[in-house]
């Protein structure tokens, strides 16, 4: 039995995520986790909220709450929505946990001992009004290049010129608008990634079969300009993991915290500890320590492309630099962006459909199917309401849902609400089984390779095969002349419903559960042996006719939603 450690990029705490965030990490990670569990493998699937950093502090201030309280509330909200989408995390942790604090400080101490941390004194803009240092992008002013008056301190959005905050004319705080700014000297810790460049490059170069998106971004950072740069891993903030060297104070770093991108990936490990401490597991080290049983673990990470540099370089640098036997990632599955109706989804602008809104409109399975079958794997992809309506109505309602409906209703009207007896397979059934076997093996291969869209396509083809068979066998005709043959045909079709429920569960878990319930079986064993899997429901086994598995989206609804989501989220 293989063991799979699976993590999804951890969503930031400052609000509810949109569908683009969902399809870029959590949802495909869930698909893979569910598939591996279904195959009988051992899975630890972890996620968490990423809670530190300036945006969290500002969001809390805007909400008028202490940041710890705000994060606790938002974690509960995000956790609830994750449940709503049926994301099957074994634990949904928090990067602000005590476990992560201790572990982050531990890693920093190990890196310092290894000589991989250096102190850098630098100048940074401080806002007296806001009482805080301002990251470059939180300073606004007039662009010296083009005169745009809302240029940010890191880059002018109008002319795309890269800027230094001190370049800005009439700089002001983007938070308060205050112009009472000054440049102050401050000291920070830098992780000496440059010392590890060769080691990291060799590691990246020897990874096989990684998405081009993953390796090309990593290589770019390794080789661009002067090569991999050292990175600041501390910030002058109140909210975060206090800077410590292991359990000891770090002289000169009082009042500072670690940079969120330093502690966030470490939360992948801490979440496993949280999982144990929450009483859900017993041994987290056998997942994370290669000296304590994690040797045979296969570790897969899922993320959007914006997260790739941190997962291919910074976090591995932390792990490798520690000199301790922590488990390194085996495969990084990265995604492009999902756009919304001709533009980008935007959290800050409230553009697009957000996770909570999506669930208010339709059940999770509808979204899961569309998002996964259109996952932005090879390039950015686009959500449109027309496309969503078409896919849901055609794939889910017509091809799969209607199959369940026609089979169960036919059996109820011509036989009874039990699997009918009699008849034997002929060439037509043998051909169907052969087709299904080939397709199921292809589906497994695509799922194993995390080819999400191809997997969805193959699954759909498996559903279609059932309709083709029914059309060909035509039990409604056979019934008039040879009822036993019709019984055999519909018995096979009823077994197909159970088979479809098992195969489809990673994509549409609720509908699969409903189909299993209708078939009144709890045998969700994977069809390694397809002929056997199609004889599991034996003559006399009772079933029920389910309610509509998937309803259709009407033109009126679609138009209404188009209108409803065309503006800005309030």
Partner RNA sequence: GGGCCUGUAGCUCAAUUGGUUAGAGCAGAGCGCUCAUAACGCUUUGGUUGCGGGUUCAAGUCCUGCCGGGCCUACCA
Binding residues for ATP: 347
Angle at 369 (CA atoms; ends 329, 298), nearest 5 degrees: 15
Binding residues among 58-97 for RNA as defined by CB under 7 A: none
CB of 344 to RNA, least distance (A): 6
CB contact set of 423 (below 8 Å; sequence gap of 6+): 482, 484, 485, 486, 487, 488, 489, 491
Segment interacting with RNA, rule: CB under 7 A, options 37-45, 106-114, 151-159, 175-183: 151-159
Question: Nearest CA to 134 among 103, 92, 171, 94?
Answer: 171
- Structure tokens belonging to residue 406: 């026609």
474 is an interface residue for RNA by CB under 7 A: yes
Nearer to RNA, 122 or 528 (CB): 122
Contact (CB, 8 A) for 25 and 305: no
Among 206, 379, 481, 570, binds RNA (CB under 7 A): 379
Q: Which of residues 292-321 bind RNA (CB under 7 A)?
A: 305-307, 309
Question: What residues contact 196, with CB distance under 8 A and at least 6 apart?
Answer: 116, 228, 317, 320, 321
Q: Which residues are annotated as a binding site for Zn(2+)?
A: 143, 146, 156, 159
Residue of 548, 560, 563, 564 that binds RNA (CB under 7 A): 548
- Given a contact cutoff of 8 angstroms between Cβ atoms, the answer to whether 196 and 204 are in contact is no
Alpha-carbon distances of 147 from 141, 151, 160, 519, rounded to whole Å: 9, 8, 12, 68
Sole binder of RNA in the list 8, 21, 54, 96 (CB under 7 A): 54
Nearer to RNA, 113 or 154 (CB): 154
Tell me how many residues contact RNA (CB under 7 A): 85
Stretch that binds RNA, among 17-25, 199-207, 364-372, 401-409 (CB under 7 A): 401-409
Q: What is the DSSP letter of 252?
A: T
Which run of H or of E encompasses 534? none
- In the complex, the smallest distance separating the C-beta of residue 105 from RNA, rounded to whole angstroms, is 18
CB 510 within 8 Å of CB 86 = yes
Shortest gap between Cβ of 17 and RNA (angstroms)? Answer: 11
468 touching RNA, by CB under 7 A = yes
Closer by beta carbon to RNA, 131 or else 279: 131
**CB closer to RNA out of 24 and 423:** 24
- Interface residue with RNA among 150, 184, 220, 280 (CB under 7 A) is 220
Q: Which of 344, 346, 357, 437 binds RNA (CB under 7 A)?
A: 344
* 173 lies in the binding site for RNA (CB under 7 A): no
With contact defined as beta carbons under 8 Å apart, do 349 and 568 qualify?
Answer: yes
Two structure tokens written together for 182: 């000054």
Beta bridge partners of 258: 234
Instruction: Using DSSP bridges, classify how beta strands 42-49 and 257-258 pair: parallel, antiparallel or unpaired.
Output: unpaired
Q: In the complex, what is the shortest distance from the CB of residue 499 to RNA, in angstroms, rounded to a whole number?
A: 17
Of 48-56, 321-329, 429-437, 497-505, the segment contacting RNA by CB under 7 A is: 48-56
Q: Which residues contact 358 (CB under 8 A, 6 or more apart)?
A: 19, 367
Only one of the segments 60-68, 200-208, 402-410, 530-538 lies at the binding site for RNA (rule: CB under 7 A); that segment is 402-410
The DSSP result for 9-22, as a single string, is PPPBSSS--BHHHI
Which of 148, 203, 476, 526 is in the footprint of RNA by CB under 7 A? 476
Min CB(28)–RNA separation in Å: 14
Question: How many H helices and E strands in the chain?
Answer: 22, 19
Should residue 50 be labelled a site residue for RNA when binding is judged by CB under 7 A? yes
Per CB under 7 A, which of residues 15..44 are in contact with RNA? none
Instruction: Give me the 227-266 binding string for RNA, x by CB under 7 A, dash otherwise.
Output: xxx-xx--x-----------------------xxx--x--
How much is the CA Rg of the chain, to the nearest whole Å? Answer: 27
Binding to RNA (CB under 7 A): which residues in 484-543? Answer: none
Q: Are 400 and 549 in contact (CB under 8 A)?
A: yes
Q: How far apart are the first and last CA of the chain?
A: 49
**Residue 381 interacts with RNA (CB under 7 A): yes or no:** yes
- Nearest distance from C-beta of residue 374 to RNA, angstroms: 5
Q: How far is CA 297 from CA 25, 62, 257, 275, 367, in A?
A: 20, 43, 32, 17, 31
Q: If binding is defined by CB under 7 A, does position 410 make contact with RNA?
A: yes
CB of 558 to RNA, least distance (A): 13
| Binds RNA (CB under 7 A): choice among 413, 438, 535, 554 | 413
CA 15 to chain centre: 16
Please identify which residue in 6, 8, 12, 81 interacts with RNA, judged by CB under 7 A: 12
State which of positions 109-128 bind RNA (CB under 7 A): 122, 124
Q: How far is the CB of 375 from RNA (least distance, A)?
A: 9
**From CA 455, how far away is CA 375, in angstroms rounded?**
11
Considering only 22-30, 288-296, 323-331, 397-405, which stretch makes contact with RNA by CB under 7 A?
397-405
Residue choice 53, 420, 423, 509 for contact with RNA (CB under 7 A): 53
For RNA, what does the binding mask look like between residues 445 and 464, x meaning CB under 7 A?
--------x---x------x
- In the complex, least distance from residue 421 CB atom to RNA, rounded to whole angstroms: 19
The answer to whether residue 198 forms part of the interface with RNA (CB under 7 A) is no
The binder of RNA chosen from 382, 484, 510, 557 (CB under 7 A): 382
Beta bridge partners of 183: 125
- Nearer to RNA by Cβ, of 55 and 420: the residue is 55
In angstroms, the Cα distances linking 361 to 15, 353, 565 are 19, 10, 12
Q: What DSSP line would sit under 87-153, residue for residue?
A: ---SEEEETTSHHHHHHHHHHHHHHHHTT-EEEEEEEEEEETTTTEE--GGGEEEE-TTT--TTEES
**Residue 247 Cα to chain centre, angstroms:** 33
């Amino acid at each position: 039995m293989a063991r799979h450690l699976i993590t999804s990029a951890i969503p930031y705490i400052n609000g509810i995520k949109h569908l683009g965030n969902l399809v870029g990490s959590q949802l495909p990670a869930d698909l893979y986790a569910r598939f591996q569990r279904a195959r009988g493998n051992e899975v630890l699937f972890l996620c968490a909220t990423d809670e530190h950093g300036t945006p969290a502090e500002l969001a809390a201030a805007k909400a008028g709450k202490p940041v710890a309280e705000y994060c606790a509330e938002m974690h509960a909200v995000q956790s609830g929505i994750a449940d709503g989408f049926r994301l099957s995390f074994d634990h949904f942790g928090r990067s602000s946990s005590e476990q992560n604090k201790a572990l982050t400080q531990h890693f920093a101490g190990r890196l310092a001992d290894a000589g991989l941390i250096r102190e850098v004194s630098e100048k940074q803009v401080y806002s007296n009004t806001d009482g805080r240092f301002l990251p470059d992008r939180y300073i606004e002013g007039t662009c010296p290049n083009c005169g745009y008056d809302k240029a940010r301190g890191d880059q002018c959005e109008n002319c795309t010129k890269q800027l230094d905050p001190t370049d800005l004319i009439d700089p002001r705080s983007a938070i308060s608008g205050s112009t009472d700014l000054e440049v102050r000297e401050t000291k920070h810790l830098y992780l000496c990634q440059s010392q590890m460049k060769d080691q990291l490059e060799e590691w990246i170069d020897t990874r096989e079969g990684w998405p081009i998106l993953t390796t090309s971004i990593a290589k770019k950072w390794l080789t661009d300009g002067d090569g991999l740069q050292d990175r600041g891993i501390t910030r002058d903030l109140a909210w975060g993991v206090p800077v410590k060297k292991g359990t000891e104070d770090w002289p000169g770093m009082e009042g500072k915290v670690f940079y969120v991108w330093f502690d966030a990936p470490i939360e992948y490990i801490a979440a496993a500890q949280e999982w144990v401490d929450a009483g859900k597991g017993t041994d987290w080290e056998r997942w994370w320590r290669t000296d304590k049983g994690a040797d045979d673990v296969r570790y897969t990470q899922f993320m959007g492309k914006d997260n790739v540099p941190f997962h291919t370089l910074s976090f591995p640098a932390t792990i490798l630099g520690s000199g301790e036997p922590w488990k390194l990632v085996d495969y990084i599955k990265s995604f492009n962006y999902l756009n919304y109706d001709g533009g980008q989804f935007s959290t800050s602008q409230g553009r697009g459909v957000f996770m909570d809104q999506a669930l208010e409109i339709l059940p999770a399975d509808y979204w899961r199917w569309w998002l996964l079958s259109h996952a932005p794997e090879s390039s950015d992809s686009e959500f449109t309401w027309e496309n969503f309506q078409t896919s849901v109505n055609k794939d889910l309602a017509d091809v799969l849902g209607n199959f369940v409906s026609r089979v169960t209703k036919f059996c109820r009207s011509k036989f009874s609400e039990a699997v009918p007896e009699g008849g034997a397979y002929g060439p037509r059934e043998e051909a169907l089984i052969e087709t299904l076997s080939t397709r199921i093996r292809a589906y497994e291969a695509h799922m194993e390779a995390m080819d999400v869209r191809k997997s969805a396509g193959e699954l759909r083809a498996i559903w279609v095969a059932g309709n083709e068979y029914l059309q060909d066998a035509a039990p409604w005709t056979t019934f008039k002349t040879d009822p036993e043959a019709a019984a055999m045909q519909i018995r096979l079709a009823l077994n197909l419903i159970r088979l479809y429920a098992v195969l489809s569960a990673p994509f549409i878990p609720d509908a699969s559960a409903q189909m299993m319930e209708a078939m009144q079986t709890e045998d969700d064993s994977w069809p390694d042996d397809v002929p056997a899997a199609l004889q599991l429901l034996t003559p006399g086994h009772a079933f029920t006719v389910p309610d509509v598995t998937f309803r259709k989206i009407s033109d009126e609804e679609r138009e209404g939603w188009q209108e409803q989501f065309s503006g800005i989220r309030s």
